[in-house]
Chain A
Amino acid sequence: MKLAHSPSTPRILPPSSPPLLASLLFERFAPGEMHEALAGDLQEEFSHGRGRPWYWRQVLSAIFIGQSTQLRANWTAFLFAALWSAISPSLLFFEVHFVENENLMERIRQLASPWFTVCKEAIEVSAFFFILWIGLALYVSLHAWATRRGSMRRFARALLLTIPLFLRVWMAVAAITVLLAMAFPQRIFDLDRPRATLLQLIIAMAFSPATVVTFCTMVPSLCSSLPDRRSRRKSRVG
């Protein structure tokens, strides 16, 4: 017997929009030249009845594949960023000592309340930018020397890109650091350096807020300073 669909019976329709969090993660972390077409395909398939688990699997797989492809394509940038970030805490240390020795800090301390904080933060931020830009210039010079190809326009764009990237990463790392400090006040920041083992020191250095900020800002900046993969391939073929 065929049952007619009664108007009172609620019809179960597939959800019209894909999971928001998955879409946001995809937009933010899935790189690639065909990103837009892939996003459209996912949306089209979802609207044709694919479920939320399918959408999540596709998004996570696209992010993983995209990131690993980017890592393989720009491995020198990742390696340089890791090395530069590892030495950035010591560079920051020298910069702060330079400011102290020049009696600049003494003059800043004499400023009125809001200006004292503003100047102190400005010095810290400028120290970060100094390190980031020196690293970027060094990498671009080395890359141009090795490949005999370089673009001043790309370099200038990468320099400018560090500003919004740094601010976003800095705020995110600051928020996470505060939360971690509240959750584990003794375990993270009270490392007894003279008694710490080598492994503990390496872990403390690798995951210090300064290192994380430098690394997360440097990787996309360095990648953006390189020629497009498409044009790199063409030049290789030619």
Chain B
Amino acid sequence: MAERTYLGELELMLLLVLINLGDDAYGVPISRELERHRGREVSLGSVYASLERMEGKGLVTSELGEPLQERGGRARRYFRITQKGLQQAHETRQVLVQLWSEQPQGGAA
């Protein structure tokens, strides 16, 4: 039987943010989106560590943009969700929805 892995909380959030941001998904807007939804400060280091790990799993791809003056001559790294990432996001959503629907009425409060 093939091993099946599901996404963690941050990984799922990151994939959804990448879908929302489209072509403009690099560190700053990604962390701002996460901050807006979670309501607390997000560490850019943890965002990059997760994205790096997800790139290793083939869930996202990344490419460097042009170096910019306002970034001290450093380039932005743009991230994009892959087909595999999209599929895993849907699978994780299905499992979560199913689990929530099976909760007793009192537990859903």
Contacts and interface: CB of A to CB of B under 8 A. Distances in A.
A9 B56 CA distance: 54
B27 A41 contact: yes
Contacts of B52: 32-34
Contact of A40 (B31, B45, B76): B76
Contact of A38 (B44, B58, B68): B44
B45 to A, nearest CB: 3
A229 interface: yes
Contact of A65 (B27, B45, B62, B70): B45
A237 to B, nearest CB: 8
A237 B52 CA distance: 16
A32 B27 contact: no
Interface residues of B, number: 25
A76 interface: no
The bracket for how many chain A residues form the interface is 20 to 34
A66 B68 contact: no
Given A43-B71, A44-B70, A44-B71, A38 B64 contact: no
A97 interface: no
B46 A34 contact: no
B95 interface: no
Contacts of B3: none
A195 interface: no
A37 B26 contact: yes
B77 A37 contact: yes
A78 to B, nearest CB: 18
26 contacts: A30-B45, A34-B48, A34-B77, A36-B74, A36-B75, A37-B26, A37-B48, A37-B74, A38-B27, A38-B48, A40-B75, A41-B27, A42-B44, A43-B70, A43-B71, A43-B74, A57-B43, A58-B44, A61-B44, A61-B46, A64-B45, A65-B45, A65-B49, A66-B45, A66-B49, A230-B56
Interface of B: 26-28, 31, 41, 43-46, 48-49, 51-52, 56, 58, 62, 64, 68, 70-72, 74-77
Interface of A: 30, 32-34, 36-45, 47, 54, 57-58, 61-66, 69, 229-230, 233, 237
